[in-house]
A and B are shown apart, each in its own frame.
Chain A
């Protein structure tokens, strides 16, 4: 108890760390797990100009990560330097940082890896007949020896963290580490076209991309055909920036951003600006909180972007971020609008089948006992199926047939177009299809279910449309277009509608009077706790003046103190459009249905309602075939 610090009288406690420990600490920044090694080594390979990169893994990469490339290779002197920290071939002076075009440049990776694992590098440069091999075991570097092998470089990393057990304990199960490694490989494969990639695990081939595959083919190989076939291309070039890639329909959006990939000059980045611009591009089509799926290559002069802000180089800083933002938003927004926003029926169909007590037996193959076949007619509470009056083959009436005479809509057409699968229980579906293929003339007939959903036959299936959602979108787009053109048609009122509001609401309404007038809502103060509505947008179908004013006041109150006119407009338009739209529960005639569909077709987007709910669900013949186990 005499002294708490017995060593305090001796030499100073602060000492310089040996280099190995320095590198081990530095490794913590860059090397967290096998996947980080995969990333660093693959980047080196790509920087070395490889056209084919193979990644071999064992036990999720913790036992072995081997990266084999056919790049330029290294000679003896290079190999001696390779494990030195801050030694790199990619950068020579500080000025070079301003225009980095290689993936790596810090010269830390191999030194860091070498300090926490057993490494071996074999390399044969172009033109040399014989290669060299060098080994590094936890920082003890041996002299290179001659070795034979293919052209290029092979780096083997074994027993990761064998000398730092603390870190080793943080590794997850091999399957988890493997999936992280594969993710890296996949990203590389999507980011570096013209390069072939192979990944193996415990000797089994896991992933294979040929050098000749283009981006959609790579996406297809990586994420499947459904996604790759729904993609819409993006391509733009304004001289300064160039973007190329694909965006997916909103329905593919996920809670995580694993399938949102940005490549900046070939480098995978996760940048806030880019994430935001994509979110903005999907605005109105996507639930907030969901991440859209997109694969985008952005290229620009390396001098215009600073990639040296983050050790993993995931974040970047644009010299002209506003211009980048505007450029990207323009090109992305139009592509997003072109995506097919209908929800595919497959998932729904599966749910419907499950509801009917259908049990899926895996391993039972495609052909099931007929006993398991779904029987849609049983127990399904279809409350009311009503065929809309005026079906084409009902004689007389004033049913206008678009595109072809009523007599052509006969049973014969059912068979040809429906391919024999049109038997959906009602003759409404399957008749009057678009054999011509060219323009969708909305021939009908239409089937209205529960006065809410419209079913319509398509050449390759059928779709179910939510009438309210679609009409809401139509009204909204119309209003928006008028607002954007600065010309809202205002239906003036004969007698001003006096609406009682609170004092606070009245103050708000008065404050935003001009913004409201721009969107066709003309309000004048009227006493202390009321306003008089003088006019409202003529587009509103069943205007409810009192409800409209109250909605507006509510929106003004909830959107905060000083909402911009644009915010108010958007919100007000949404609720105004909702208020005046055909409601679920309105019985519609064929003509009304056709008119709604036709007006929807003229819009940029008729696939989601303004609240980004889908307006339609599409069932393809494939879905039906699957459901009936024909396939």
Chain B
């Protein structure tokens, strides 16, 4: 195998693949990158058996097609620190020589046949949407997915496609983010998929141009995505996703409209005093006004006021400010709406046209 390619492009590709390649694995071969050279392109493949990535580099000069498996991290580090414009990869027996200008290294290769088989993307029955839209939806939801141990199903983002609508939902049991976007030419019978957040982050990482389209393929136990240069497959999380639709309030007694930035600012203000241990900020709502109140036994208390649009008898509810702020960061509108029934029922923030964020309140027994 022999190939010549642009150093910067190769570095970029290896960097992406290294995001997936585990630093330490019980299967040492997974710490490697599989390099495939065919007639006109060079492909880099990495996987941790949960997520796999196949990155293609065009504009390469192929001397000799072939396959090799080399240590991923070492290859990236060496190529990153080379100064030449181009790099040559050349294999001979069990040695892979990487040359850039006058500098070179020889890496030990592993048996390419032992490398796990990774899926390839088929263009049949795929869903097409703009890369930027996909990234936005992930950003609006993935942060709410669970991180702590247990409830494995909630460690991913639930993606469903129904009635020409692609919807993403994530929750950790205390808050829930739901965002959707209309899509066209939807293939029939797409099953719901719980995609690990790591996989989604990889998806977003390889979207270079937000305006160009990406393709998504839903399988029974994996989901694939294709951009111009990359194909990524993520294994789906097998489990029952909580029945979230029941907790989204439909009719609420209290409805507040307020400026997004102002809410953010006031919350931060009060949270400065409550600190990160005591985590409740109480919202006291009266017609025309919302008061933020937080206190911490060891520190003191803080009040903040802001004007709101509210017609009702007044009410109050307390939230973890961090949770609310997470949502505000992703709000699409200048004005958001908060709806809730009472202090023990979920608070529903409408943050965009098709974006809602539910936060469970904090209650204080007295």
Q: Contact: B147 with A542, CB < 8 Å?
A: yes
**Interface residue B297 (Cβ < 8 Å from any Cβ of A):** yes
**Interface residue A478 (Cβ < 8 Å from any Cβ of B):** yes
Q: Contact: B362 with A489, CB < 8 Å?
A: yes
- B242 CB contact (under 8 Å) in A491, A494, A543: A494
CA distance A602 to B242 in the complex (A): 40
- B360 CB contact (under 8 Å) in A475, A494, A520, A542: A494
Collect the chain A residues with CB atoms within 8 Å of residue B176's CB. 494
Asked, given contacts A478-B278, A492-B344, A495-B244, whether A545 binds B364 with beta carbons under 8 Å apart, the answer is no
Within the complex, the shortest CB–CB distance from B250 to chain A, in Å, comes to 15
Asked, given contacts A517-B365, A518-B365, A547-B149, whether A494 binds B297 with beta carbons under 8 Å apart, the answer is no
- Residue ID in chain A nearest B173 by CB atoms: A493
Most buried by A among B244, B299, B365: B365
Asked, given contacts A539-B279, A545-B151, whether A495 binds B366 with beta carbons under 8 Å apart, the answer is no
Q: Contact: B149 with A494, CB < 8 Å?
A: no
Collect the chain A residues with CB atoms within 8 Å of residue B243's CB. 495
User: Main SS of the interface on chain B?
Assistant: loop
Within the complex, the shortest CB–CB distance from A526 to chain B, in Å, comes to 15
Within the complex, the shortest CB–CB distance from A195 to chain B, in Å, comes to 46
**Which of these binds chain B: A178-186, A293-301, A480-488?**
A480-488
Interface 1/0s, chain A 257-290, versus B by CB < 8 A? 0000000000000000000000000000000000
**Interface residue B171 (Cβ < 8 Å from any Cβ of A):** yes
Interface 1/0s, chain B 231-264, versus A by CB < 8 A? 0000000000011100100000000000000000
Interface 1/0s, chain B 216-228, versus A by CB < 8 A? 0000000000000
CA distance A535 to B364 in the complex (A): 11
Q: Contact: A494 with B280, CB < 8 Å?
A: no
Q: Contact: A489 with B366, CB < 8 Å?
A: no
CA distance A546 to B366 in the complex (A): 26
**Interface residue A221 (Cβ < 8 Å from any Cβ of B):** no
CA distance A238 to B298 in the complex (A): 29
**Interface residue A194 (Cβ < 8 Å from any Cβ of B):** no
Collect the chain B residues with CB atoms within 8 Å of residue A478's CB. 277-278
Asked, given contacts A491-B174, A491-B320, whether A543 binds B360 with beta carbons under 8 Å apart, the answer is no
Q: Contact: A595 with B276, CB < 8 Å?
A: yes
- Residue ID in chain A nearest B243 by CB atoms: A495
CA distance A599 to B275 in the complex (A): 10
- Residue ID in chain A nearest B276 by CB atoms: A595
Collect the chain A residues with CB atoms within 8 Å of residue B277's CB. 474-475, 478, 539, 599
- Residue ID in chain B nearest A533 by CB atoms: B173
Asked, given contacts A538-B320, A543-B148, whether A489 binds B298 with beta carbons under 8 Å apart, the answer is no
- Residue ID in chain B nearest A499 by CB atoms: B150
- Residue ID in chain A nearest B296 by CB atoms: A478
Q: Contact: B346 with A494, CB < 8 Å?
A: yes
Q: Contact: A497 with B364, CB < 8 Å?
A: no
**Interface residue B363 (Cβ < 8 Å from any Cβ of A):** yes
- Residue ID in chain B nearest A490 by CB atoms: B363
- Residue ID in chain A nearest B279 by CB atoms: A538
CA distance A494 to B323 in the complex (A): 13
Interface 1/0s, chain A 571-605, versus B by CB < 8 A? 00000000000000000000000010001001000
Within the complex, the shortest CB–CB distance from B348 to chain A, in Å, comes to 11
CA distance A535 to B173 in the complex (A): 10
Within the complex, the shortest CB–CB distance from A223 to chain B, in Å, comes to 36
Collect the chain B residues with CB atoms within 8 Å of residue A547's CB. 149-150
Residues in A lying within 8 Å of B, measured CB to CB: 474-475, 478, 481-482, 485-495, 497, 517-518, 520, 535, 538-539, 542-547, 595, 599, 602
Residues in B lying within 8 Å of A, measured CB to CB: 147-151, 171, 173-176, 242-244, 247, 275-280, 297-299, 318, 320, 344, 346, 358, 360-366
Known: A486-B365, A486-B366, A497-B151. 13 other contacts (CB 8 A): A478-B278, A482-B278, A487-B365, A489-B279, A489-B318, A490-B363, A491-B360, A492-B361, A493-B173, A494-B173, A494-B247, A495-B244, A599-B275
13 A-B pairs in the complex with CB atoms less than 8 angstroms apart = A474-B277, A478-B277, A478-B278, A491-B279, A492-B344, A492-B360, A493-B174, A538-B320, A542-B149, A544-B149, A545-B150, A545-B173, A602-B299
